[in-house]
Structure 1
Amino acid sequence: MADSGGGVTVSEKIKGWFPERVQLHIAMLALQFGYAGFHIVSRAALNMGMSKIVFPVYRNILAFLLLLPFAYFLEKKERPPINLNLLVQFFLMAIVGITANQAFYLLGLDNTSPTFASAIQNSVPAITFLMAAILRQALA
């Protein structure tokens, strides 16, 4: 969608409306509102009797289907070829990192409130850093 006067696209005009710092703050707020909405929807699903084991599976399948076209078309030329080693690593990361994290999150959400889940989720990077620092000290 190029503009007839100079080749400036509509997205470039929109980006020019806000400084980059403001855009970053808006993106952060949108992300936090998205997380808050997810916490509320998750709690409602648990209250309706959704299984804590089945819910992460549905969530991961939906995310896979939504992100697959973007990953395929936007990264087609840049991605390395997928071999058995990469597939095994992806599988282990998915089981240990993502699915276990979501299962523990839902277990905690079932016993607390969406407000507490939102608050505690922001502490995950700090806890991860502390664990990495402790394990590095122990291994060194």
Structure 2
Amino acid sequence: MADVGGSASSSRMRCSVPERFQLHLAMLALQFGYAGFHVVSRAALNMGVSKLVFPVYRNTIALLLLLPFAYFLEKKERPALTLNFVLQFFLLALVGITANQGFYLLGLENTSPTFASAIQNSVPAITFLMAALLRQAPFPYLSSLS
């Protein structure tokens, strides 16, 4: 978050729009991007693109778009890339992102993009309820920040 009234906040602002409005505009753009993704995904499924191939295309495009930013902007701050890290990243991507996208596409094939958008916005609430039912702290990292 921005330092209210501090010089760090004013030095970071590069345009005349206040930072809180920039955050709202960024969230609005993200939601429009998600809505567009739902429509494009449904159109791709209707054209016959495989549910297994589509996440591969999506992740490959994301890799190619984000790799230069990750390489050049985080070059001095990132830890060394060891085999252990690579295996952890691979398993996390396989179980987390790829499985999530696969199940999303499976559900989208049987519903509409409108329903997918509505359900996506309920994921944080469902996660909180599951954590409460399982007696887990929904945000354990917040207690370490205090």
Q: Same fold (TM over 0.5)?
A: yes
Residues of 2 paired with 1:23 and 1:84: CA distance? Answer: 39
Q: In the alignment, which residue of structure 2 is the partner of 1:101?
A: 100
Structure 1 residue ranges (4+ consecutive) displaced by more than 4 angstroms after TM superposition: none
2:109 pairs with 1:110: yes
User: What whole-Å deviation, never above 9, does each CA across 1:87-139 have from its counterpart, x for those lacking one?
Assistant: 111011101110000000001110000000001001112222222333345xx
SS of equivalent residue, structure 1 residue 133: helix
Give TM-score, length-normalised by structure 2: 0.80
Aligned pairs, number: 125
In structure 2, list runs of 5 or more residues that go unmatched.
1-10, 137-146
Q: In the alignment, which residue of structure 2 is the partner of 1:83?
A: 82
Residues of 2 paired with 1:135 and 1:39: CA distance? Answer: 31
RMSD of aligned residue pairs (Cα, Å): 1.5
2:39 pairs with 1:40: yes
Give the residue type in structure 2 aligned to 1:111. Answer: N
Give the residue type in structure 2 aligned to 1:78. Answer: E
SS of equivalent residue, structure 1 residue 34: helix
In structure 1, list runs of 5 or more residues that go unmatched.
1-8
Question: If you compute each CA radius of gyration, which structure gives the higher value, 1 or 2?
Answer: 1
Displacement of 1:63 in angstroms is 0.4
Give TM-score, length-normalised by structure 1: 0.84
Residues of 2 paired with 1:136 and 1:86: CA distance? Answer: 30
Residues of 2 paired with 1:22 and 1:120: CA distance? Answer: 26
For residues 56-95 of structure 1, the aligned pairs below 5 Å read 56-95=55-94
Residues of 2 paired with 1:81 and 1:128: CA distance? Answer: 33
Give the % identical residues.
80
Compare 58-67 and 118-127 and name the one that shifted more. Answer: 118-127
